[in-house]
Structure 1
Amino acid sequence: MTVFILVAGAFTGPYVWRDTAARLTAEGAEVHTVALTGLGGRAAGPGEVVDLETHIADVLAVIDSVAVESGGDIVLVGHDYGIHPALGAADRRARSIARIVHLDSGMPRDGVPALAAVPDQRLREELTEGGGEPTGLLPPARDAWPRWGSTAGLSEAALDGLTALAAPQPLGTLLQPLRLTGAVAAVPVTGVLCTGNGPGIELVQLMVDLGEPAIQALADPRVTFFELATGHWPMLSRPAELAEVLAEAAAGGGHRLKPADAAEPPPHLRPFLLDVPERPRERTGNTDLYLPEGPGPHPAVVIVHGGPVPAGARPTPRDWPTFTGYARYVAGRGAVAATVDHRLHAFTDYGRAAEDVAAAVERVRADPRVDTDRIALWFFSGGGPLTADWLAAPPAWLRCLAVNYPILAPLPSWGVADARFHPVRAVARAGKLPIVLVRAGREMAEIAATVEEFLTAARRCGADVEVVDVPQGRHGFETLGPTDEARDAVRRAAGAVLARLTA
């Protein structure tokens, strides 16, 4: 028999598991929900400090009672904050746990408090500075739950119930660092990704391919993944589907990531799909210039990579084949092309990445070989949020803004509190700025949703948007295998950008 131990997240208690637990039980599993102190369990005593260790002890008590009563395999499920006490307990009872399930939760590390995983960056800063009531962090008002995760899929009744039953989160549970001995590393793991709230499997695979050290462990064969197309509370929005996923996870099912292969270049380092000749290139600071024939001044296209890209990634993006390929192609068509390295190393880095891009643009415009009044900006992938500044207040010299398979609204799990980096909202102020959008037909669902949201907003305000569709294209299609459709899309997109520079 499989024994599930379910640990709820911030502000919530055992009640959130009711429907999922009932379905698991109906399928023959044994199910225990953990009542954490102050969150559906016992109330804290006078003067008692409830911290992460308190909640770890709550989970340990259930594990120990189950280990005595049952000979089944224990699957420990932690949702949201609940993964922190779950991991802390599993580290001390590693031999008793058959699998740990991270249900739309982060990857807690030794010495790091749960506060680091709170999605709202501004809220993290407030709590670090001593915010919150003495009794704990007050639960969200009904319309404030999105600060903690996407409410996509929740019915009005479910949201009402979530709000009515929520309890203050003891501050110590968020501020006390998690302590792990390393024993838990031997326990198989499953991640359940809610794509209405954050990245799906394909995007996580891209992170593995980029070489981020903290992500490489996810390609271990003992780690599996599932996706649920819903928001952050799947036990309320998709209880039946969640029960099915948990049962499959307990049986060892799920998708396994492909580890980075040193003998084969990752997708982003494979050859560009067009055979473009070398061009003269000049490197100054974080910017490379690719020069066309003739003295100029020439129009210029500034090419901005996406991310986040790990700080230690080598080569850096301006040397990736996609960006060197576009730059050479653009220079061959008579415009200066510039590729830029910027510091988008985490989702909280958009501010300084925007500074890097703005400085690079001014450096390009200051070059005497560049026509300072004919500039295009071309953004890719996770660089999409950086377009918001330029959409909100397009300068007269900006003749075109292009985006390839972009993310055009911050995903809820990013914790980007700054409304500045929200192109869907900014496009209403774009005026007559021409926009070229290259849309991948096989885009990841979580990214495609932001593109459609952007296009809806653009139609509403009458923005000038030309869409270049790549029906069979995937995210990063330029290096994922050459096809005539993809080659044609690159030529059409570049032609559209250059046409607006010379109009």
Structure 2
Amino acid sequence: MTAFILASGPFTGAAVWDEVAAGLRAAGAQVLPAALAGAEGAEGAGADLEAHIEEVVRLIDSLDAADAGDAGDAPDASPVVLVGHDYGIHPVLGAAARRSERVARIVYLDAGLPQDGDAPLALVPDPGVHALLSGQPDALVPPPEGEEWQRWGSTAGLSAQHLDRLSALAAPQPGRTLTQPLRLTGSIDAVPTSGILCTAGGTTIAAVQNLVSYGPPQFRWLADPRIGFFELATGHWPMLSEPQALAGALLSAAAGEGRRLDPPKDAPEGAAGRPQGFLLDVPECPRERIGRVDLHLPDGGAASGPRPAIVFVHGGPLPRDMEPGIRDAPLYLCYARLAVSLGVVGAVVAHRLHALTDFPTAAADVAEAVETVRSDPRVDADRVALWFFSGGGLLTTDWLAAPPSWLRCLAASYPLLAPLPAWLAVDPHFRPADALHGATRLPLVLTRAGLEGPDIAATVADFLTAAKDAGVAVDIVDVPNGHHAFEHADQTDESRAAVLDGMRAVLAYLEG
């Protein structure tokens, strides 16, 4: 008999699973909804993440005790499936790390992918909670009411009665459950996993596949054949909006079913002077690391006089311990070398965009790095361009709103130009289209991937419409057959031409 242990998201406790639990039991499964302290009443007000992990561990151990009681000294242990919804994935992962030998599967139910050392607060979408806990990490976080639940996820599929029930079941969330870091071990790496995506929030299997195929390396593990994915066409609380469909998906997940993702294609080996994964041969050049910036320098140094510079700003969010480091990643390393080969300084910034809440920090890092570049005597401080990639596109906001005189051009490749629907944690300040009023005289160069994911493509289309309305001209470099991060994914003549066309357009504004 499969045993499901269900851990809910913030503010909610065991009662939110009632309909799902009934469906699972009707199919012959054992169900133990976790009564996480704090979500069950005032007695849990002092709980922290560790207390919630211990509660899930206790439930696992209680199954073993029951099995032993039923079968004497040689129990046939029930397979244990741990289900974590939203915040609930943190205590689930913590418990799985301590009882990995007893866990048959971990199910991520519309949840993030926290890593060792991450605090649950990093995945909280409500900016008000961050503000509250930054000054009072032990504070009780009041639950939302009515339409306020939209700040925590899509409410698609929830009727007014559902929202009333959600509010009635809710209790304040102890701050320490969100601020205490999650501690994991490698023991959970061998545990099979499943993902159930609620598509009304904007996350689909196709979007995850795109991330695996063309995104940063840390997502490639999602193509492991032991991982199955499911979609539910509803919002963030399927236990209320689609309980029977969710029960069915959980049973299928426990059986090892689900859609498998295709692994990314290996990039071809680079030719001499071309690191693996880039599509052009670019010569090596001197490089200096100054704080968060790597300066790639043309031959001759200061003796040749100050040169214009292009500052390359990576996307994200990216993990803190990404290897290789972003400044050594072939994409940015080679863009900088290409700039140097054409006579200008190439600078690569390593900013701290590690979570959706980090955009203000990343923006400050970029601004500081730009001043580091401009203050170098080998750089012409009055001729600088900024070039943003992917999720870094949101960081264009301040530069569009008030472009300094020395900023000769702003470029962006396959950028995200508005927060995605599920990115509720992003500071609302970072909306580039709203900042276009300041960019009427700032040259913009946008490289657009024709096979971009629809969610990102929609942000680009909306931005271009806003730019037209604001009278802002945009030079567009189209890659009709290119995917997101086409430099790695599509090493074709079309892609090579697009990189060179974008670089020539930026250089023309630097030299003009």
Q: What TM-score range do you get, normalising by the shorter chain?
A: 0.7 to 0.9
Q: Residue deviations 1:166-221, cap 9 Å, x none?
A: 332345654677677987665432233557367835436767725xxxx7876766
Deviation, structure 1 residue 139: 0.4
Q: Is 1:471 the counterpart of 2:474 in the alignment?
A: no
Aligned to 1:130: 136
- Secondary structure of the 2:173 match is coil
1:338 aligns with 2:346: yes
1:206 to 1:395, Cα distance in 2 relative to 1, 3 A: same
- Separation in 2 of the partners of 1:152 and 1:461? 33
Are residues 1:490 and 2:499 paired?
A: yes
Matched, 1:191 2:195: yes
Q: Name which of 404, 409, 432 aligns with 1:423.
A: 432
Contact 2:278 2:487 in 1 (8 A): yes
Paired AA for residue 427 in structure 1: L
Structure 2 counterpart of 1:12, one-letter code: T
SS in 1 for 2:141: coil
SS at match of 1:494: helix
Structure 1 pair 122–479 and aligned structure 2 pair: CA distance change class (3 A): same
Is the 1:287–1:341 contact (alpha carbons within 8 Å) kept by the matching residues of 2? yes
In structure 2, the partner of 1:358 is 367
Q: SS at 1:339's partner residue?
A: strand
Q: Find the partner of 1:118 among 119, 124, 127.
A: 124
Kindly indicate whether residue 382 of structure 2 is the aligned counterpart of residue 382 of structure 1: no
Q: Is the 8 A contact 1:197 1:230 kept in 2?
A: no
* 1:82 counterpart SS class: helix
- 3-state DSSP of counterpart to 2:415: coil
User: Are the counterparts in 2 of residues 4 and 29 from structure 1 also a CA contact under 8 Å?
Assistant: no
Deviation at 1:413, TM superposition (A): 6.8
- 1:365–1:2 distance in 2 versus 1, CA, 3 Å: same
Q: Kindly tell me: are residues 336 and 228 of structure 1, through their superposed partners in 2, closer, same or farther at Cα, counting changes over 3 Å?
A: farther
Q: After TM superposition, list the pairs within 5 Å mapping 1:319-334 onto structure 2.
A: 319-331=328-340, 333=342
User: CA deviation digits over 1:32-51, x for unaligned, max 9?
Assistant: 3626267786x566x98656
Counterparts of 1:72 and 1:259 in 2: how far apart (Å)?
Answer: 36
Is the alpha carbon distance of 1:166 and 1:494 closer, same or farther for their aligned partners in structure 2, counting shifts above 3 Å? same
Distance in 2 (alpha carbons) for counterparts of 1:175 and 1:122 = 14
1:405 aligned to 2:414? Answer: yes
Calculate the aligned-residue CA RMSD, in Å. 4.7
Any idea what SS the aligned residue of 2:483 has? Answer: coil
Cα distance in 2, alignment partners of residues 437 and 263 from structure 1:
26
2:24–2:31 contact (8 Å) kept in structure 1: no
- 1:81: which partner in 2? 87
1:151 to 154, 159, 169: 154
463-472 or 185-194, which moves further after superposition? 185-194
Unpaired segments ≥5 residues, structure 2: 71-75
Asked if 1 retains the 8 angstrom alpha-carbon contact of 2:312 and 2:349, the reply is no
- The normalised TM-score by structure 2 is 0.74
Cα distance in structure 2, aligned partners of 1:368 and 1:173: 49
Counterparts of 2:78 and 2:172, CA distance in 1: 34
Q: Trace 1:308-319 onto structure 2 (pairs within 5 A).
A: 308-310=317-319, 313=322, 315-319=324-328
Whether contact under 8 Å (2:124, 2:425) holds in the other structure is no
The separation in 2 between residues aligned to 1:301 and 1:374, in whole angstroms, is 9
Alignment of 1:192-271 (within 5 A): 192-193=196-197, 196=201, 200-203=208-211, 209=217, 222-226=226-230, 232-236=236-240, 242-243=246-247, 245-253=249-257, 254-255=259-260, 270-271=276-277
Structure 1 residue 353, shift from structure 2 partner: 3.9
Kept after mapping to 2: 8 A contact 1:193/1:201: no
Report whether the alignment pairs 1:272 with 2:271.
Answer: no
Q: Does structure 1 residue 441 correspond to structure 2 residue 450?
A: yes
**Residue range with higher mean Cα deviation, 431-440 or 312-321:** 312-321
Q: Letter of the aligned partner of 1:343 in structure 2?
A: H
Show structure 1 runs of 5+ residues with no match: none
Alignment coverage as a number of residue pairs = 489
Contact between 2:294 and 2:348, CA under 8 Å: does it hold in 1?
yes
Alignment of 1:274-313 (within 5 A): 274-276=280-282, 278=283, 281=286, 283=288, 285=290, 286-291=293-298, 299-310=308-319, 313=322
What TM-score do the two structures reach when normalised by structure 1? 0.75
Asked if the contact 2:84/2:107 (under 8 Å) is kept, the reply is yes
Shift of the 496–63 alpha-carbon distance from structure 1 to 2, 3 Å rule, reads: same
Distance 1:490 1:111 in 2: 37
Aligned to 1:34: 33
8 A Cα contact 1:209 1:259, kept in partner? no
Q: Distance in 2 between matches of 1:154 and 1:464?
A: 41
Give the distance between the partners of 1:272 and 1:89, measured in 2 at CA: 41
Stretch deviating more after TM superposition (231-240 or 243-252): 231-240
Is 1:166 equivalent to 2:170 in the alignment? yes
| Cα 1:222/1:283, change in 2 over 3 Å | same
Are the equivalent residues in 1 in contact too, given 2:332–2:348 (CA < 8 A)? no
Within 1, Cα distance between the matches of 2:164 and 2:450?
37
* Per-residue deviation, 1:440: 1.9
Contact 2:269 2:277 in 1 (8 A): no
CA 120–143 in structure 1, closer or farther in 2 if over 3 Å, else same: same
Output one character per residue of 1:432-481: Cα deviation in whole Å (capped at 9) or x when no partner.
Answer: 32322222233345544443443454345343233333232122111224
The partner residue of 1:105 within 104, 111, 119 is 111
2-structure distance, mates of 1:228, 1:487: 39
For residue 129 of structure 2, give the secondary structure of its aligned residue in structure 1: helix
Q: Are the equivalent residues in 1 in contact too, given 2:288–2:295 (CA < 8 A)?
A: yes
Distance change in 2, residues 1:131/1:86 (3 Å): closer
Partner of 1:6: 6
Amino acid at match of 1:139: P
Task: Assess if the C-alpha contact under 8 Å between 1:323 and 1:339 holds in 2.
Answer: no
**Which whole-Å CA distance do the structure 2 matches of 1:301 and 1:483 have between them?**
25
Q: Percent identity?
A: 49
* Residue type at the aligned position of 2:194: T
Structure 1 residue identity aligned to 2:7: V
Measured against aligned partners, the alpha-carbon deviations of 1:32-72 in whole angstroms (never above 9, x if no partner) come to: 3626267786x566x98656537854784598469659986
| Structure 1: distance between partners of 2:322 and 2:186 | 27
| CA distance in 2 between partners of 1:177 and 1:275 (Å) | 43
Deviation at 1:281, TM superposition (A): 4.2
8 A contact 1:51–1:172 mirrored in 2: yes
